[in-house]
């Protein structure tokens, strides 16, 4: 599948927060739910999106298939956009940040325009792999999902508190490796509660598929609520 690659223009914006609010409103008009997915490098963002999108696009339980798009942000390379497009058939564009460590609302808008968001129910942004900077910039998304992989350790909310504080939902991936890496789910929940006591947490395995259906169902509810109440 051919993947379009967009070299993002740097935005020097007076007020990104205001622009992000504006983008959120604009996306309501086209009934497009926008999710910002953030994590460290190599935590399983792409793998998680592939399995999630398959369930949302091809539900087996009689539910409505969702029209899904993915914007893959990367400093360089277009590995992930190809993977998403080939494995799910979802609309996919690659965003090159030109060395920048995060996306803001106007950069999101550049990508959304290219992907044709008007015709989509749900667009994911796979943000640059970085637990620091992306937490500081509102992209205009309706929800923020933070992924933490088991090998990174259960202490990460202590060390990157803003990222976990900003999360509307937390996905813990690679749980099949939990024993090998001494990751304690209770200790993780306790560490997370220190900065964000309310975010739901889903534990996922890309190997066994565990947890993916529950998280996809949670997300589908969010999207359907959005479509009903926009």
Number of residues that bind a second copy (CB under 8 A): 34
Tell me how far apart the terminal alpha carbons of the chain are, to the nearest angstrom.
33
Count other C-beta atoms under 10 Å from residue 228's C-beta.
Answer: 7
**Cβ(121)–Cβ(33) under 8 Å?**
yes
Nearer to a second copy by Cβ, of 55 and 107: the residue is: 107
Nearer to a second copy by Cβ, of 19 and 126: the residue is: 126
* 24-32, 37-45, 108-116, 214-222 -> range binding a second copy (CB under 8 A): 37-45
> Considering the rule CB under 8 A, would residue 152 count as an interface residue with a second copy?
yes
> Considering the rule CB under 8 A, would residue 42 count as an interface residue with a second copy?
yes
> Considering the rule CB under 8 A, would residue 185 count as an interface residue with a second copy?
no
Nearer to a second copy by Cβ, of 20 and 128: the residue is: 128
With 0-12 / 13-18 / 19 or more C-beta atoms within 10 angstroms meaning exposed / middle / buried, residue 12 is: exposed
Interaxial angle between packed helices 105-115 and 16-29, expressed in degrees from 0 to 180 and rounded to the nearest 10:
30
Contact partners, residue 134, CB within 8 Å, separation at least 6: 36, 38, 101, 102, 103, 127, 128, 163
User: Interaction with a second copy in 111-130: which residues (CB under 8 A)?
Assistant: 128-130
Largest CA distance in the chain: 48
Nearer to a second copy by Cβ, of 164 and 202: the residue is: 164
Torsion of CA 214, 219, 224, 228, to 10 degrees: 130
> Considering the rule CB under 8 A, would residue 45 count as an interface residue with a second copy?
no
> Considering the rule CB under 8 A, would residue 79 count as an interface residue with a second copy?
yes
As given in the structure block, the two tokens for residue 174 are: 């690679």
Residue selected from 132, 193, 209, 218 as contacting a second copy according to rule CB under 8 A:
132
* 21-29, 51-59, 62-70, 132-140 -> range binding a second copy (CB under 8 A): 132-140
Residue selected from 75, 113, 116, 190 as contacting a second copy according to rule CB under 8 A:
75
**Cβ(32)–Cβ(122) under 8 Å?**
yes
Q: Which residues bind a second copy (CB under 8 A)?
A: 40-43, 74-77, 79, 99, 101, 128-133, 136, 149, 151-153, 155-156, 158-162, 174, 176-177, 180-181
């Amino acid at each position: 599948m051919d993947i379009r690659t967009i070299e993002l223009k740097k935005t020097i914006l007076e007020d990104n927060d205001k622009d992000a609010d504006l983008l959120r409103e604009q996306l309501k008009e086209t009934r497009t739910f926008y999710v910002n997915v953030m994590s460290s490098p190599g935590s399983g963002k792409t793998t998680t999106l592939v399995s999630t999108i398959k369930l949302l696009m091809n539900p087996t339980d009689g539910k409505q298939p969702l029209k899904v798009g993915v914007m893959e942000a990367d400093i360089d390379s277009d590995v992930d956009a190809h993977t998403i497009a080939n494995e799910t058939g979802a609309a996919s564009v690659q965003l090159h940040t030109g060395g920048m460590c995060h996306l803001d609302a106007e950069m999101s808008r550049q990508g959304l325009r290219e992907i044709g968001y008007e015709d989509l129910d749900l667009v994911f942004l796979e943000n640059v792999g970085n637990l620091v900077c992306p937490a500081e910039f509102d992209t205009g998304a309706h929800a923020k999902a933070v992924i933490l992989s088991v090998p990174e350790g259960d202490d990460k909310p202590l060390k990157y508190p803003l990222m976990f504080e900003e999360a509307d939902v937390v996905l813990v991936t690679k749980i099949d490796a939990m024993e090998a890496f001494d990751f304690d789910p209770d200790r993780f929940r306790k560490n997370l509660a220190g900065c964000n006591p309310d975010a739901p947490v889903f534990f996922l395995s890309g190997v066994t598929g565990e947890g993916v259906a529950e998280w996809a169902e949670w997300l589908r509810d969010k999207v359907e609520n959005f479509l009903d109440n926009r």
